[in-house]
Amino acid sequence: MEVSRRDFLRLSVGAAGGTALAGLVGSGVNLGPVVAQAQELRIKNAKVTPSVCPYCSVGCGTLIYTVNEQIVNIEGDPRSPHNEGTLCPKGAAIFQLHVNPNRPIQVLHRAPGASEWEVWDLDRAMSRVSELVKKTRDETFIDKLPNGKLVNMTPAIFALGGATLEVEFNHLCQKLMRGLGIVAIENQARI
């Protein structure tokens, strides 16, 4: 195994730091106040807003810390009965959802066969989605089965909802999808 000078220095500093820390703890030094002070300094002037993790149907409680309306930290809410202050790896990465420079912030459309994305305004994109839904529904709508039973449905559209939406929005989505005659409806929030 070949060890570079950088690896050797990194291992040496890590070992020395670990040894010093273990020596302090072993000698009875209480690091609790130091840890508490570091935690306080990290979020000292931040405004705390309780929220919910957007990733799954559990709905773990989170605390969002903001300074000057910028998110500086997101952590689990210890008052939440679901997670008691802990977050899974996805939940722990919520901060990246907000500050990731690669996050799309515009509507992007790539036409069939095209190699490049083009930026669309939201109204144009919503109109296009509406046109495609209406076209697909009109082309595939079934009012009666061959045996004469009334069904008023379309088998060509599938609706998938997520747990990141609140109950009221999911309720309205269900009503809209059922009103369109869509029967293939799934939602993570039902789990």
The pLDDT confidence band at residue 21, using thresholds 50, 70 and 90, is confident
pLDDT at 132: 95
CA atoms within 13 A on the CB side of 66: 11
Q: What does pTM read for this prediction?
A: 0.57
Per-domain residue ranges for the chain?
141-191
| DSSP three-state, residue 44 | coil
Query: Quick one: 80 exposed, middle or buried, by C-beta within 10 A (0-12, 13-18, 19+)?
Result: buried
Measured from the Cβ of residue 171, the count of other Cβ atoms closer than 10 Å reads: 11
- What percent of the chain is modeled with pLDDT above 70? 85
Long-range contacts of residues 137-142, Cβ cutoff 8 Å, at least 24 apart? 137/180, 137/181, 141/181
pLDDT at 191 over 60: no
The pLDDT confidence band at residue 22, using thresholds 50, 70 and 90, is confident
List pLDDT tens digits, range 111-144: 999 999 999 999 999 999 999 999 999 999 999 9
CA distances from 163 to 118, 167, 183, 191 (A): 29, 9, 19, 9
Arithmetic mean of pLDDT, 157-169 = 77
CA 90/CA 130 separation, integer angstroms: 33
What are the DSSP calls for 66-110, one per residue?
EETTEEEEEEE-TT-TTTTT---HHHHTHHHHHH-TTS--SEEE-
Nearest to 49 by CA among 74, 28, 26, 25: 74
Residue with tokens 């420079």: 101
pLDDT at 97 over 70: yes
